[in-house]
Amino acid sequence: MVRNLSLVALSAVLCAASITHASAAEKKQLYFVANGPVDFWKLAEAGMKKAQAELPGYTMEMKYPEQASAAVQNRLLDDLVANGASGIILSAVDPKTQTTELDKVAGQSLLVTTDSDAPDSKRAFYLGSSNLQAGHQAADILKKAMPKGGVCVAFAATPGSDNAVQRLQGMREGLQGTNIKIDSIRSDEMDQARAQRNVADILAARSDVNCMIGVFAYNTPQIYLALQQAGKVGKVTVVGFDNDQGTLVGIKAGAVAGTVVQQPFQWGYLGMKYMARYLQGDKSFIPANHEIIVPTQIIDKSNVDGFMAQVKTWLGKK
């Protein structure tokens, strides 16, 4: 009798283990793919973790390509699809050259874009900022800071990415009728040392440039550092995008006129929540144009302290 009870107990344990394993295997895998290895995405990762706590039936993971390269991102996407990804939200490095790859991914997994859209692909929807509107807001900062006009150079990782193109387009539209001109754009492919060298090169070669634009999150801090090294802080008007700590410190110091911030925390949080709803058959949240816009905000010296406190809250810091 004792032996029989032991066998029954063992059978029950094995059965429970089997059920637990099966339950884990049945969890759908959702991924957030960044466009490169930069700290900007830490807020999106924090938002994703909040969604994970609310959706225990899914596994969620943040993926950072080792460099801002379409080829590297494509290989990562292929690996995720091969691993059984149910849903992927990504910021496309170079949408125009990635359309074929993105369409292939969309044929095997739910594909959502954020930050840098790929409107020509078969992605289900876009969740993120209106980069065009963000560009208009950046133009407003410049018009306030440079009433007499000037010559600007922009700095970006990949000028062909959808977000860079639209931000600069929005700025040019917003600057029409002023004496402020965006002269050129320098690329660095998210190499931050190169980004700083680009600024130093312009400072050395172009005495007419009195305005610099950091198009990507890390660009503005690199502009600030290069200006410090050249002893030209305060002599060049700086405007940026996003909420890198270096940018916010520059605003507090009066070295950066302002920045236009997005809400990557919401991209991570809502992106996962919306993908889960979509996979459960609910598409009612998707608007007719398949674009879900999360508003952007101007941060300058008047509100930077409150915003920095909010960022700490999002990241779970005291």
Q: What is the pLDDT of residues 200-249, one digit of tens each?
A: 999 999 999 999 999 999 999 999 999 999 999 999 999 999 999 999 99
Beta strands in 132-248 (DSSP E): 150-156, 180-187, 211-214, 237-241
Any idea which fold 2-129+263-286 has? Answer: Rossmann fold (3.40.50)
What distance in Å separates the CA atoms of residue 64 and residue 265, rounded to the nearest whole number?
16
Nearest in space to 163 (alpha carbons), one of 72, 212, 78, 94: 94
Q: To the nearest whole number, what is the mean pLDDT of the chain?
A: 92
Task: Give me the percent of the chain exceeding a pLDDT of 70.
Answer: 92
- Structure tokens, 267: 């991209």
Cβ neighbours of 132 (radius 10 Å): 17
**Predicted pLDDT of residue 25:** 56
Strand ranges for the chain from DSSP E: 28-33, 58-63, 87-90, 110-113, 125-128, 150-156, 180-187, 211-214, 237-241, 258-261, 291-293, 297-299
> What superfamily does domain 131-261 belong to in CATH?
Response regulator (3.40.50.2300)
Write phi, then psi, for 96 (nearest 5 degrees).
-65, -35
Side-chain-side CA neighbours of residue 101 (13 Å): 21
Spatial distance between the Cα atoms of 128 and 217, rounded to a whole number of angstroms? 15
Say whether 131-261 and 2-129+263-286 share the same fold. Answer: yes
Sheet holding 297-299, edge to edge: 180-187, 150-156, 211-214, 237-241, 258-261, 297-299
What are the tens digits of pLDDT across the range 29-82? 999 999 999 899 999 999 999 999 999 999 999 999 999 999 999 999 999 999
Place of tokens 């990241």: 315
Are the CB atoms for 147 and 103 separated by under 8 Å? no
Query: What is the residue extent of each domain of the chain?
Result: 2-129+263-286, 131-261
Question: For 270-315, how does the pLDDT look when each residue is reduced to its tens digit (9 = 90+)?
Answer: 999 999 999 999 999 999 999 999 999 999 999 999 999 999 999 9
Mean pLDDT on 15-23 = 41
Provide mean pLDDT across the span 177-181.
98
